Structure 1
Amino acid sequence: MFTYAPLWQTLKDKGISQYELIKTYHISTETLDALRKNKSVTMNTLHDICVILDCPIEAVVKIEKGDQ
């Protein structure tokens, strides 16, 4: 399972709000909702977020082993 928990910490560390992602960087509210719920997003979206935050993908997403 993927978790986007690292993203929220990265945003906090960099002082960037979700509002700023929406207004300044044009990340949709639907995308942020999917990330909050650990739902699927495209690799392009993850790439864009990494570029915006100037961070590696590990600062945005983590793989957790779970019951499947």
Structure 2
Amino acid sequence: MISYQPLWDTLKEKGVTQYQLINNYGVSAGQLSRLRANSNISTHTVDVLCEILECKVEDVLLHVPNKTLR
């Protein structure tokens, strides 16, 4: 499973709000909704977030192993 918890931590650390992502950077509310639900997003969205936040991919997402697949 992919978790976007690192994104929320990075936003807080950088002092960037979800409101700013939408209004200043053009991130859609739908994308933020998918991120909050840990749903699928495109690598383009990950790239955009990394550019906005000047961070690494691991500052946006984390892979959490799914034990039921083993």
Q: TM-score, normalised to structure 1's length?
A: 0.97
Following TM superposition, by how much is the alpha carbon of 1:18 offset from its aligned partner in structure 2, in angstroms? 0.3
CA distance in 2, matches of 1:16, 1:52: 10
1:3 and 2:3 matched? yes
Stretches of structure 1 lacking an aligned partner (at least 5 in a row): none
Residue pairs, 1:52-67, within 5 angstroms? 52-66=52-66, 67=68
Q: Which residue of 1 aligns with 2:31?
A: 31
CA distance in 1, matches of 2:33, 2:61: 15
Stretches of structure 2 lacking an aligned partner (at least 5 in a row): none
C-alpha RMSD over aligned residues: 0.6
Following TM superposition, by how much is the alpha carbon of 1:52 offset from its aligned partner in structure 2, in angstroms? 0.3
CA distance in 2, matches of 1:26, 1:12: 19
Amino acid of the residue matched to residue 23 of structure 2?
Answer: K
Amino acid of the residue matched to residue 40 of structure 2?
Answer: S
**Identity between Structure 1 and Structure 2 (%):** 40
**In terms of Rg, which structure is larger?**
2
Query: Which 4+ runs in 1 deviate beyond 3 A?
Result: none
Q: TM-score, normalised to structure 2's length?
A: 0.94
**Number of residue pairs matched by the alignment:** 68
